[in-house]
Amino acid sequence: MKKINPKNLFSKEILNFSVKTKNGVLRYINFDNAATTPAFFDVEKQVAQYMISYGSVHRGSGEKSKISTDLYEATRDVIKKFVNAEKDSYVIFSQNTTGAVNACAYFFSFLKGKVAVSEIEHSSSYLPWIKEEGGKKIGSKQIKFSDLEKINEKIQFYGNKQIIVYKTDKNLHFDLKNIEKILRQNKIKVFVLTASSNVNGYCPDIKKIGQIVHKYGAYFFVDACQYLQHHKIDMKKMNIDFLVASGHKFYAPHGGGFLIAPKKFCDKFLPYQIGGGNLPYITKSGYFLRYENQLAHDPGTPNAVGCVAMAKAIEVLQDIGIKKIENYEKEIANKIYQGLLKNKRIKIYVDSKNLNTVIPFNIIGLDADFVADKLNDDFGIGVRAGNFCVYQFIRKIMNIKDEKEIIESVKNGNKDKIPSLLRVSVGLCNTKKDADRFLYAINKIIQIYGQKIQ
Ligand SMILES: Cc1ncc(COP(=O)(O)O)c(C=O)c1O
């Protein structure tokens, strides 16, 4: 593919989707790609085509069943090649990144040692570790229904004790010496890190951190769901043992996600979920025999449509070339960044050196949710306002020390006090013209609604 042009990647219907706004009917601009991405046209076509031959996976001898099983299984190899995973690693399908992390946290909870989780983790790669670790720590005694509330609190308490949250330094980066110290001083079984922050796009040095993690005998778990659609992931080169991602973030909606994990590791565990299709035989006395392959971790009828979509989206990303994608998106992000910089009423929470595809910012004196609503209602532009499920990091970058008032108001059903930022996130559906329209809208909002701000 030559020059990137969204018109070659998405359907006319997606690109021309229009919304009624206060300024008339406008073409909708999606600047919320970090939350989810529209489907590539080729993905839509492939899924529609597959519907004709859709059949059961791993069950049945009919032609449709064979086609479906082959397509489903082939997706594992497509994913493995895309991220250069070890040949014999497993691709375990999940609904999304959240599901994949939960499965992995379940496995690790059986093992001795602590879990190191970074302060920039999304709650999806933070809370599953607390829940599984805490659950294991309190043991498996059965209890009365009325005691459940107490137990739930205990799970969180002990879970938090099993987790070490490692922090960023004053530049909001990870200090490798600090990481090494944590690994030296604690028995860490798994070291968890996101490859790209969904708040400010910060990409830690995965390769170097992986080296350190391995030096201390821990496994390295990487959440790549904000990374692999923008930058090259190479599990072998980057020293990654476990990798998770979601199809809907790389232009393949339809509910697919995955965990890549070492075969030798997974073969030792009972599956996270069990039922039909992931075991070969159940004996008279109710014991089940197991597979020593990926099927063991593939319970129930799988989401073949999601897998077909992911495989096609990866093919498209590879056809375009990740380097080209990086450059294309960088230009748009940079245009937005430079435009925002010009307005003194805007506070940006990322510096130009670390600029990636997501830009967190606020308009001083205007509520983030209010601005996001105005962008949508008046200008037909979708962004996100909120804390992006990364509470610790948001508190840090917004310098919020005291959370008593926040907790109190949330308990009283009021979420207004929760710290909130605006986030514009760029993807392949965007153009520099979109950036211009966005900057125009932001400046207009400041002009109209920000008059009282000094
Ligand atoms: C860094 C990161 N990890 C995990 C998730 C959770 O992904 P999903 O909702 O697909 O499970 C997100 C979603 O925004 C994310 O940004």
Residue reference for tokens 């607390």: 130
Tally of structural domains, the chain: 2
- pLDDT over 60 (residue 454): no
Q: Domain boundary at 287, 319, 351, which?
A: 319
Token pair in block for residue 157? 């308490």
Rg (CA), the chain: 23
Q: Which atom of ligand 1 is nearest to the CA of 121?
A: 1
Does 327 map to a domain? yes
- Separation of CA 121 and ligand 1 centre (Å): 9
Token pair in block for residue 207? 């390769």
- Separation of CA 290 and ligand 1 centre (Å): 31
Tens-digit pLDDT profile for residues 400-444: 888 888 888 888 888 888 888 999 999 999 999 999 999 999 999
194 lines ligand 1 (CB under 6 A): yes
Tens-digit pLDDT profile for residues 197-232: 999 999 999 999 999 999 999 999 999 999 999 999
Residues 24 and 134 in one domain: no
226 lines ligand 1 (CB under 6 A): yes
Q: Which atom of ligand 1 is nearest to the CA of 388?
A: 14
- Separation of CA 194 and ligand 1 centre (Å): 10
Distance CA 339, CA 301 (A): 49
Residues 52 and 131 in one domain: yes
Residues 286 and 258 in one domain: yes
Residues 330 and 292 in one domain: no
Residues 172 and 214 in one domain: yes
Residues 214 and 202 in one domain: yes
118 lines ligand 1 (CB under 6 A): no
- pLDDT over 80 (residue 453): no
Residues 412 and 296 in one domain: no
246 lines ligand 1 (CB under 6 A): yes
Q: Domain boundary at 319, 350, 383, which?
A: 319
Distance CA 29, CA 6 (A): 12
- Measuring CA to CA, how many Å separate 254 from each of 10, 99, 118, 217, 308? 16, 15, 29, 37, 9
- Separation of CA 189 and ligand 1 centre (Å): 23
The confidence score (pLDDT) of residue 213 equals: 98
Tens-digit pLDDT profile for residues 369-403: 999 999 999 999 999 998 888 888 888 888 888 88
- Mean pLDDT computed over 271-294: 93
The confidence score (pLDDT) of residue 1 equals: 59
- Mean pLDDT computed over 2-19: 96
Q: What is the CATH number of the domain that holds 353?
A: 3.90.1150.10
- pLDDT over 90 (residue 34): yes
Give the burial string for 134-148 (b: 16+ CB within 10 Å, else e). bbbeeeeeeeeeeee
Mutate to test the pocket of ligand 1, among 33, 37, 198, 254 (most ligand atoms within 8 A of CB): 198
Does 156 map to a domain? yes
Token pair in block for residue 293? 């392959």
The confidence score (pLDDT) of residue 406 equals: 85
Smallest CA separation from ligand 1 atom 13, residue = 35
Does 68 map to a domain? yes
- Mean pLDDT computed over 143-153: 93
Cβ-based neighbours of 249, under 8 Å, separated by 6 or more: 33, 34, 36, 37, 97, 225, 226, 229
Does 125 map to a domain? yes
Mutate to test the pocket of ligand 1, among 196, 203, 233, 246 (most ligand atoms within 8 A of CB): 246
Q: Domain boundary at 319, 353, 373, which?
A: 319
Burial class of residue 85 (count of CB atoms within 10 Å of its CB; 0-12, 13-18, 19+): buried
Distance CA 430, CA 50 (A): 28
- Separation of CA 122 and ligand 1 centre (Å): 6
Tens-digit pLDDT profile for residues 232-257: 999 999 999 999 999 999 999 999 99
Residue type, 110: F
- Separation of CA 8 and ligand 1 centre (Å): 27
Q: Helix (H, G, I), strand (E, B), or coil: what is residue 339? A: helix
68 lines ligand 1 (CB under 6 A): no
Q: What is the CATH number of the domain that holds 144?
A: 3.40.640.10
Tens-digit pLDDT profile for residues 303-355: 999 999 999 999 999 999 999 999 999 999 999 999 999 999 999 999 999 99
- Mean pLDDT computed over 178-194: 98
- Separation of CA 223 and ligand 1 centre (Å): 8
Smallest CA separation from ligand 1 atom 3, residue = 122
Does 454 map to a domain? no
Residues 177 and 294 in one domain: yes
The confidence score (pLDDT) of residue 387 equals: 86
Taking phi first (over 0 means left), then psi (-120 to 50 degrees means alpha), and beta for anything else, what does residue 94 get? beta
Residues 196 and 121 in one domain: yes
Average pLDDT of the chain to the nearest whole number: 95
Q: Helix (H, G, I), strand (E, B), or coil: what is residue 163? A: strand
Cβ-based neighbours of 284, under 8 Å, separated by 6 or more: none
Containing domain of residue 49, as a range? Answer: 43-319
- Separation of CA 37 and ligand 1 centre (Å): 12
Residue reference for tokens 């496994």: 219
Report the half-sphere exposure of 378 (CA within 13 A, side-chain side).
17
Distance CA 93, CA 98 (A): 12
Compute the Cα dihedral for 399, 404, 410, 413 and give only its sign: negative
Residues 370 and 430 in one domain: yes
Distance CA 137, CA 156 (A): 10
- Measuring CA to CA, how many Å separate 291 from each of 1, 63, 266, 280, 338? 42, 25, 11, 7, 55
Residue reference for tokens 């994990």: 261
Mutate to test the pocket of ligand 1, among 226, 242, 244, 384 (most ligand atoms within 8 A of CB): 226
Does 176 map to a domain? yes
Residues 248 and 162 in one domain: yes
Q: Which of 119, 122, 111, 127 is nearest to 160 (CA)?
A: 127
322-341 vs 304-320: helix axis angle to the nearest 10? 80
Burial class of residue 286 (count of CB atoms within 10 Å of its CB; 0-12, 13-18, 19+): exposed
The confidence score (pLDDT) of residue 20 equals: 97
pLDDT confidence bin for 23, thresholds 50/70/90: very high
Q: Which atom of ligand 1 is nearest to the CA of 95?
A: 11
Residues 259 and 182 in one domain: yes
Cβ-based neighbours of 233, under 8 Å, separated by 6 or more: 82, 83, 84, 195, 224, 227, 240, 243
Question: What would the DSSP string read from start to end of 210-242?
Answer: HHHHHHTT-EEEEE-TTTTTTS---TTTTT-SE
Which of 72-76, 275-279, 346-350, 444-448 comes out lowest in average pLDDT? 275-279
- Separation of CA 98 and ligand 1 centre (Å): 7
122 lines ligand 1 (CB under 6 A): yes
Does 35 map to a domain? no
Does 37 map to a domain? no
